[in-house]
Amino acid sequence: MFQYHKRRKSLYLLFCTALLILLGYLLGIEIVGYKSALNAHAESLSSSGIIPQLAIAVGAAMLGVIGIVFSLSLFSIQQVAERGTSLTLREYANDWVLRIVYGSLAIFAVFALAVALLRKESAALAVLVNFIVLVATIFLLKLYFNRTIKFSDPHFIVSKIATRARRSLRTIKRMEHVIKQEVRYRRRKVRA
């Protein structure tokens, strides 16, 4: 049964990746085919102020997304705190995936707002950056949702805590070995 779900998930990821590559390829062909017309339209939209307004709107929307994700995190932390221990909260707060999601969303907001400052000749680039920011945000939110769901699984939390404990034990053993060597060195020095 486990193998079926594992293969099903792999096939789903393969299908989604192939679909994204195909869509990117088709979009690239269309952009190359109509590049001069796109540049003319982009410059006219930029000169009328629509593209800078679009960039500011996307940046503001990104800031809103950051706020929503942060408040959902607080709700998730509250739920984990009611059912779990302080170690569960520590693992949730120190999770590197969630930190990457927050950092990436902040960087995307800055990029989207910075696009509003581009010159009129770079209008096509501004539209492309805003589109990439929106698509990447959707993927980051999916990653965030999946990671938050994992924290409701006690097995996942226990495995993270056990991994952290193993790392701490290895560090303690290394420190113990270094201290023993230092003690031996000092004993030799005192005897000599």
Question: Does 112 lie in the same domain as 188?
Answer: no
**113-131 pLDDT, tens per residue?**
777 776 666 666 777 777 7
Question: Does 96 lie in the same domain as 65?
Answer: yes
Give the count of domains, the chain.
2
Question: Does 116 lie in the same domain as 47?
Answer: yes
3-state SS assignment for residue 58: helix
- Per-residue pLDDT at 4 exceeds 60: no
Q: Is residue 173 part of a domain?
A: yes
Q: Is residue 27 part of a domain?
A: no
Question: Does 83 lie in the same domain as 113?
Answer: yes
Question: Does 167 lie in the same domain as 136?
Answer: no
As a dihedral over the C-alpha atoms of residue 62, residue 136, residue 107, residue 110, rounded to 10 degrees, the angle is -50
- Per-residue pLDDT at 177 exceeds 80: yes
Exposure on the CB side of residue 36, measured as CA atoms within 13 A: 0
When comparing pLDDT for 159 and 55, which is higher? 159
Question: Does 167 lie in the same domain as 129?
Answer: no
Question: Does 143 lie in the same domain as 180?
Answer: no
Q: Is residue 23 part of a domain?
A: no
Q: Is residue 84 part of a domain?
A: yes
When comparing pLDDT for 184 and 42, which is higher? 184
Q: Is residue 175 part of a domain?
A: yes
**11-37 pLDDT, tens per residue?**
777 777 887 788 777 777 776 666 666
Burial of 113 (0-12, 13-18, 19+ CB in 10 A): middle
Question: Does 103 lie in the same domain as 89?
Answer: yes
Output the CA–CA distances (angstroms, integers) from residue 4 to 11, 12, 16, 83, in the order listed: 10, 12, 18, 31
Question: Does 48 lie in the same domain as 138?
Answer: yes
Question: Does 180 lie in the same domain as 161?
Answer: yes
What residue type is 51 in one-letter code? Answer: I
Q: Is residue 24 part of a domain?
A: no
Would you place residue 170 in the very low, low, confident or very high pLDDT band (cuts 50, 70, 90)? very high
Question: Does 172 lie in the same domain as 117?
Answer: no
Q: Is residue 19 part of a domain?
A: no
Mean pLDDT of the chain: 77
Question: Does 76 lie in the same domain as 170?
Answer: no
Domain range holding 187?
Answer: 154-192
Q: Is residue 18 part of a domain?
A: no
